[in-house]
């Protein structure tokens, strides 16, 4: 019996769907990303990728670096993770800055914010929203291409004076392809030539039906510049989040995704990680893509030291032995030996893939000469 889809298998191994399909083809199995495969085939694939497999029951396979099932009763509500998208100059950066300053702790003495690629806002109500501060469709697409599902909600920014533009349409397409619900932020309503009704009307042409026109998409009028409607936008995000029933198990080893990584002169390799499940703690040993490390320090977007970070919390992680890539999976493992084993395997595989790529190029070059 078929027990797991190719996509789910890829997710659990933190591998790309395309790579899993390729591996299946090598085994003589033709399957698309949404097709299901049986446990024996899944086991073969998992071994090829160098992961361990744990069969929980005859009818289920659980794959992962440490392989632990999150049963329903362990799940707790978590904050939504939001990405802001929209046409250039419609105010994505301005809106992210404005929203960031609605944090109850913002504006406190010494609250110098730094760019770490993501931040979390705590509202007066105590509710929290995580914003990925990497506006741009490329980042979103790159993450998706690597199989990382990081965003729960897309905030589509449309300037009320400019209306729907090509990148607005592109953003709608991205959100839809990813199956991520949208909240529309009609920005720049402070401008004299703002026409929010026209925006609502024109969204119809792209099958985005806002509530005012009988649909289900919330559209909020805001001004990032004049700080109008920010609380309403946050309310709309939280309402959408409620519908999604976002939950995660905080009481397990942490797993998540690398949002940003860089080699810092003074601090060495530094990664901003969005924890998706579990709780990351100082001292934890982890794998991030083809790199590993031991958490030396955790810093929030204000640069404050943290002892731990739970689901939906973005943190800067110090203690890496190399610099991973944005979109890489992040997973705490139980020993340094295990971390070395996994990264050695992944680095070897990357090298092999590169070698294959080079061979292909030279073949193409050969043909082009003929
Ligand atoms: P992005 O390219 O989408 O990130 O847009 P920016 O945030 O860089 O904003 C583009 C321009 O629009 C800047 O000059 C902003 O000052 C301006 N802008 C952004 N939001 C507003 C707004 O609510 N009202 C007005 N009048 N201008 C805005
Ligand atoms: Mg910008």
- Residue 179's contacts (CB-CB under 8 Å, 6 or more residues apart) are none
79-119 pLDDT, tens per residue?
Answer: 999 999 999 999 999 999 999 988 877 655 445 566 778 89
Residue 358 to residue 278: CA distance in whole angstroms: 39
> Hey, what are 187's tokens?
């920005």
Select from 83, 89, 91 the residue to mutate for testing ligand 1; criterion: most ligand atoms less than 8 Å from CB.
91
Closest to 315 (Cα-Cα) out of 270, 262, 283: 270
- Tell me the two tokens of residue 216: 């289900």
Choice between 55 and 323, residue whose per-residue pLDDT is larger: 323
Give the pairing type, strands 247-248 and 308-309: unpaired
Residues near ligand 2 ion, CB 5 Å cutoff: 92-93
**pLDDT tens per residue, range 38-80:** 877 888 888 788 776 665 544 344 444 444 556 677 889 999 9
Contact predicate 249/75, CB 8 Å: yes
Q: Of 73-77, 174-178, 310-314, which has the strongest mean pLDDT?
A: 310-314
CA of 188 to the centre of ligand 2 (A): 14
Give me the phi and psi of 342, to 5 degrees please. -65, -45
Q: Determine whether the shortest distance from the Cβ of 276 to ligand 1 is under 6 A.
A: no
Straight-line distance from the first to the last Cα atom of the chain, in angstroms, rounded to the nearest whole number: 49
Coil, helix or strand at residue 147:
coil
Instruction: Identify the three-state secondary structure at position 103.
Output: coil
Flag whether 56 is marked binding.
Answer: no
**Per-residue model confidence (pLDDT) at position 77:** 94
Where are the alpha helices (H) located in 27-125, listed in sequence order?
A: 39-48, 92-100
Q: Which ligand 1 atom sits nearest the alpha carbon of residue 90?
A: 3
The pLDDT value recorded for residue 206 is 97
- The predicted model scores a pTM of 0.79
> Among 101, 120, 135, 122, which residue's Cα sits nearest to residue 301?
120
190 in contact with ligand 1, CB cutoff 6 A: yes
Q: How many CB atoms lie within 10 A of CB 268?
A: 15
pLDDT at 63: 43
Q: Which helix (H) or strand (E) holds 25?
A: helix 17-26
* 203 membership: H or E segment, kind and range: helix 196-203
Closest ligand to the CA of 167: 1
CA-based nearest residue to 136, from 96, 189, 190: 96
**For residue 256, pLDDT beyond 90:** yes
pLDDT at residue number 92: 93
| Ligand 2: centre distance to CA 284 (Å) | 35
197 contacts 160 by C-beta, under 8 angstroms: no
Assign residue 227 a region (left: φ > 0; alpha: ψ between -120 and 50; beta: otherwise). Answer: left
User: 22-26, 34-38, 59-63, 293-297: which range is least confident on average?
Assistant: 59-63
- ipTM confidence: 0.99
Q: Give the residue, 63 or 278, on which the prediction is more confident.
A: 278
What is the SS3 assignment for 311-347?
A: CCCEEEEEEECCCCCCCCEEEEECCHHHHHHHHHHHH
Q: Locate the ligand 1 atom nearest the alpha carbon of residue 191 and give its number.
A: 26
Ligand nearest to the CA of 225: 1
Q: Ligand 2: distance of its center to the CA of 135 in Å?
A: 7
Q: How far is the CA of 95 from the centre of ligand 2 (A)?
A: 9
Q: Which pLDDT band holds residue 341 (cuts at 50, 70, 90)?
A: confident
Q: 3-class SS at 245?
A: coil
Residue 206 assigned ligand-binding role: no
Q: State whether residue 43 is helix, strand or coil.
A: helix
Q: Is residue 201 a contact partner of residue 158, using CB atoms and an 8 Å limit?
A: no
Ligand 1 atom nearest 88 alpha carbon: 2
Q: Ligand 1: which atom is nearest the Cα of residue 157?
A: 3
pLDDT band at 237; cut points 50, 70, 90: very high
Residue with tokens 């199995």: 29
Span 260-282, average pLDDT:
94
Residue 184's H or E segment, with its range, is strand 182-187
Q: Is the CB of 264 under 6 A from ligand 1?
A: no
Per-residue CA distances from 267 to 274, 292, 298, 319, 332 (Å): 20, 16, 12, 9, 21
């Amino acid at each position: 019996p078929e027990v797991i889809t190719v996509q789910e298998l890829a997710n659990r191994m933190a591998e790309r769907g395309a790579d899993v399909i390729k591996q299946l083809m090598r085994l003589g199995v033709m399957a698309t990303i949404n097709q299901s495969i049986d446990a024996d085939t899944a086991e073969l694939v998992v071994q090829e990728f160098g992961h361990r497999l744990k069969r929980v029951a005859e009818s289920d396979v659980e794959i992962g670096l440490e392989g632990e099932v999150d049963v329903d009763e362990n799940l707790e509500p978590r904050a939504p993770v939001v990405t802001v998208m929209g046409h250039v100059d419609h105010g994505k950066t301005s809106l992210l800055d404005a929203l960031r300053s609605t944090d109850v702790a913002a504006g406190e003495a010494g609250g110098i914010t730094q760019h770490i690629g993501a931040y979390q806002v705590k509202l007066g109500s105590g509710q929290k929203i995580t914003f990925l501060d990497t506006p741009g469709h490329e980042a979103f697409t790159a993450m998706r291409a690597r199989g990382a599902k990081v965003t729960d909600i897309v905030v589509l920014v449309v300037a009320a004076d400019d209306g729907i533009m090509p990148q607005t349409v592109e953003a709608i397409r991205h959100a839809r392809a990813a199956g991520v619900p949208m909240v529309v932020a009609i920005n720049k309503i402070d401008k004299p030539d703002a026409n929010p009704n026209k925006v609502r009307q024109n969204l119809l042409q792209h099958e985005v039906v806002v509530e005012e026109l009988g649909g289900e998409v919330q559209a909020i009028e805001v001004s990032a510049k004049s700080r109008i409607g920010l609380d309403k936008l946050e309310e709309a995000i939280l309402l959408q989040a409620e519908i999604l029933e976002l939950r995660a198990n905080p009481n397990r080893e942490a797993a998540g995704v690398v949002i940003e990584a860089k080699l810092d002169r003074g601090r060495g390799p530094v990664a901003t990680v969005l924890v998706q499940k579990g709780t990351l703690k100082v001292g934890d040993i982890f794998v991030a893509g083809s790199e590993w490390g031991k958490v030396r320090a955790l810093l929030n977007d204000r640069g404050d030291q943290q002892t731990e970070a739970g689901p939906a919390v973005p943190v800067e992680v110090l203690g890496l032995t190399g610099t991973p890539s944005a979109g890489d999976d992040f997973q705490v493992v139980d020993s340094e030996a295990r971390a070395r084993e996994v990264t050695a395997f992944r680095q070897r595989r990357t090298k092999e893939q590169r070698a294959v790529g080079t061979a292909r190029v030279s073949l193409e070059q050969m043909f082009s000469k003929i």
